[in-house]
Amino acid sequence: MAFKLREIEVFRPYSTEVPEDLLWSMNFSEQEIDRWLNCDLLRVAKLGEQVMGVYAMDVADGVTYVLHGVVVAPSARKQGLGRWLVGHALGVAESKGARGVLFPHQSHSRFLATIGFEANEQGQRFEMYQE
């Protein structure tokens, strides 16, 4: 399904938009899905009424946010939506006073490095810089 990123809207999900099926499709454990669904910031990317992607983030210490991940529906992959959702997550975190965003895994390091994340002992971190 081809689409333009400007057609995608990102929202807090209503109860009918919770992307459980999308998370189950990633072979997440029940515990991982519960963590995603109960995090501080859960956002869904929608094209019309269809959920195309999701990200989940928690506040760690007030100035650091933890990005649990981004999941994009198979029909929407390879079109830039994952990168766009990471950028959205960074913007939301910064608007709430974050100084950095941590992705606590070593996976997807090349993808995240192109966005500005740097590997450290905790995973990968994106630093916000003063204006």
pLDDT digits (tens, 9 = 90+) for 78-101: 999 999 999 999 999 999 999 999
Q: Say how far apart CA 46 and CA 18 lie, in whole Å.
A: 11
Domain 5-127 CATH assignment equals 3.40.630.30: yes
- DSSP for 3-22 reads --GGG-EEEPPPGGG--HHH
Taking residues 124-129, report their average pLDDT: 94
- What is the b/e burial string over 65-86, where b = at least 16 CB atoms within 10 angstroms of the residue's CB? bbbbbbbbbeebeebebbbbbb
pLDDT at 2 (0 to 100): 82
